[in-house]
Structure 1
Amino acid sequence: MSDEVLLDRDGATAIVTLHRPDAGNAFSTALKSALVEALREVGSDDAVRAVVLTGAGSVFTVGQDLREAVQALQANPARAGDTVLAHYNPITLALASMPKPVVAAVNGTCVGAGLGFALACDLQVWASGATLATAFTGVGLTCDSGVSASLVRAVGQARASRLVLLGESFTVEQAVGWGFAGEVVPADQVLATARTLADRLAAGPTRALAASKRLLAAGSSRSLAETLQAEAVEQSALGLSRDHAVAVEAFLNRTAPVFTGS
C-alpha cells in the first residue's frame, strides 16, 4: 500500500487517512489505488467493525490531482477518463456497500469526488467553516463518485442542480441548512468526534447494522411490498444471530448487551 493512504487499527475501529497533506490530499493515481486497496482490506476484515475516513492536515481533499490529469490527457486523451471506472466507482461502492458502518471525518475543504466519498459514508462529522464544492463543471466535467444521486438525496433536485451546474462553493453550515446530515464541530475535534461515533458503532450488532445499510440503500427504489419482503428476509436471518439472542436475554435481565458481531 502507498504511503499516500494510511491505515490504522485501534480495537475494532479502522482509520483510513488520505495522506498527501502538502497537496491538499489531491487524488493522485497512487492515492486512489491505495484507497481502493485499504477500503477492500478493512471491508473484508471481520475484526474491523467500523471505519473512519479522514484527511491528513487541515484539508479533507481538494479532489482530483489536476496536474496528473493534464499529464493523462497529454499522454492519451481517450484513456484519461479511465480513472472513474478504475478508482472512483470502486471507492464509492466500497464505502456505500461495506458490511459495516463508515464515518466520514471531514476535517476541512471537501471538493469534487471527495464530496461524493463523504456522502457515500453512513455518517458524517464536518469541520465548522469547511468549504465544500462539486467543482466538476469548473473543469469541464460532470458528476462522479455518486454525487448525482447522493447530493439529490441530501438537498433535493433543485438545490443539487444549482450546486452542480454552477459549481459554486458553499460552507458546511449552509449545507446542513439545506439538508446535509451530520455533526458540525470545530476542526480540531472532528477526528475525535468521528472516532467516538465509530467506536460506538463498532460495539454494536454488526450484522444488524450491515442489514440496515442494505435496506436503506435499496429502500427508495423498491415498492412497499418489495420493501416489506426484504425486511422480513433480513429480520428472519438476524433472528437467528447470537447478537439478537444476547440482546433479548440482556433485556430480560435488565443488563447491557455485549455484542460480538455474530
Structure 2
Amino acid sequence: MYENILLEISDGVSTITLNRPQVYNALSTGLIKEITKAVEVSSTDNSVRVIVLTGIGDKAFCSGADLKAGMDEGMASLGDSLRKNYNPMIAAIRNAEKPVICRMNGIAAGAGMSLALACDLIIANKEAYMSELFVGIGLMPDAGSMYFLPRIIGMQKAFELCSTGRKVYMDEALTLGLVTKAVAYENLDETVGELVEYYKTAPTKSIGLMKKVLNQSYSSTIAEILEQEAENQYILGKTHDFAEGVMAFLQKRKPNFKGK
C-alpha cells in the first residue's frame, strides 16, 4: 500500500515513519501524499489514540523538498505543488483531532522543519538541528513555517531564521520553544514512549477539541473563543470520559478513559 513510508497501527498508536533514507527522507510527491493519507487514516481510526511521526535512521527526520525529484517531475508551478501536495499534508496534521508527536530522529530542514512544527509536540535527537534553508535557493519558507514560526518564537526571531536559513541546534531550539524536549538518540524511544503511554490513556476527545480551538485562537476574538469553549464543553459534557473522570475523582481513583 505504501512505498515511501512505514505505517504501523498497534495498541492505540499509529506510527508513521518516513522511509527514504537514501535522500535523507526528502519530500517527493509520493512521500507527501502517503504521509497525508496515513495521517487521515489514523485520524479516523477509532482505535488510534495518538499519532507518532518520525523518520528512518538517526541522520534525518526530513531534509526538505526533494529538488531532484521535483525537477524530474517537472516543477511547472511551485504554488500549485504547495496547494496540491504540501498544504493538504500540513492541514491533515493540524486538523487531526488527536495528538501528533514528532519523533525528530535527525535534522529537520526546509519543508521538513515545517513538517515537524506542524506536530503538536517535538521530541528531538539532541544532535540534530533545524533550518529554514529556503533562502539559500532564493525561496521563502512554506508548508506552514510562516504561520508556525511567529507564533512560537515571535516576529523578529522568525524573520532572522527565515532570512538567514542558519542552523538552529537543539540547545537553542529548546530555549526558543521550537522543540518540546531534546535527548540523546539512544533515549529517544523511551522519551517518546512516555508521552505515548500518557496519550494512549488520556481523554482523546477532550484533547482533540482542545487542539481544534487552539488552532483558531490567534485568528479569533476573545468573544469567539469564549463561545467556542462553551460549544465544545457542551459536547465534552456528554462524553463517557467526562462521566468517568468525575466518578474517578469522587471515588479517589485513576480514571479509565476510553477516548469517547
Which one of the candidate residues 123, 126, 130 is aligned to 1:128? Answer: 126
3-state SS of paired residue (2:17):
strand
Between 151-160 and 177-186, report the one with greater CA deviation. 177-186
1:215 aligns with 2:205: no
CA offsets per residue over residues 195-215 of structure 1, 9 Å max, x none?
321231121111100110011
3-state SS of paired residue (2:52):
strand
**Could you tell me which residue of structure 2 aligns to residue 67 of structure 1?**
68
**Could you tell me which residue of structure 1 aligns to residue 48 of structure 2?**
48
Q: Is the 8 A contact 1:52 1:195 kept in 2?
A: no
2: CA distance, partners of 1:143 / 1:57:
25
2: CA distance, partners of 1:191 / 1:90:
28
Letter of the 1:247 partner, please give it: G
Letter of the 2:2 partner, please give it: S
Letter of the 1:160 partner, please give it: A
**Could you tell me which residue of structure 2 aligns to residue 91 of structure 1?**
89
**Could you tell me which residue of structure 2 aligns to residue 23 of structure 1?**
23
Post-superposition offset of 1:78 = 2.8
3-state SS of paired residue (1:220):
helix
2: CA distance, partners of 1:196 / 1:10:
16
Structure 1 pair 180/80, CA: closer, same or farther in 2 (3 Å)? closer
> Structure 2 matches for 1:70-149, cutoff 5 A?
70-72=71-73, 75=74, 77-149=75-147
**Could you tell me which residue of structure 2 aligns to residue 173 of structure 1?**
171
TM-score normalised by L of structure 1: 0.94
Letter of the 1:218 partner, please give it: Q
Which one of the candidate residues 225, 228, 237 is aligned to 2:226? Answer: 228
Q: Is the 8 A contact 2:17 2:53 kept in 1?
A: yes
2: CA distance, partners of 1:228 / 1:30:
41
2: CA distance, partners of 1:13 / 1:96:
17
1:57 aligns with 2:57: yes
1: CA distance, partners of 2:186 / 2:202:
26
2: CA distance, partners of 1:106 / 1:30:
21
TM-score normalised by L of structure 2: 0.95
**Could you tell me which residue of structure 2 aligns to residue 195 of structure 1?**
193
Q: Is the 8 A contact 2:61 2:105 kept in 1?
A: yes
Post-superposition offset of 1:80 = 5.0
1: CA distance, partners of 2:148 / 2:245:
33
Which one of the candidate residues 224, 228, 251 is aligned to 1:253? Answer: 251
Q: Is the 8 A contact 1:107 1:191 kept in 2?
A: no
Q: Is the 8 A contact 2:124 2:179 kept in 1?
A: no
Structure 1 gaps, min length 5: none
Post-superposition offset of 1:175 = 1.6
**Could you tell me which residue of structure 1 aligns to residue 156 of structure 2?**
158
Post-superposition offset of 1:232 = 0.8
Q: Is the 8 A contact 2:245 2:255 kept in 1?
A: yes
Post-superposition offset of 1:179 = 2.7
Post-superposition offset of 1:66 = 1.4
1:35 aligns with 2:28: no
Amino-acid identity (%): 33
CA offsets per residue over residues 12-33 of structure 1, 9 Å max, x none?
0110000011210111222112
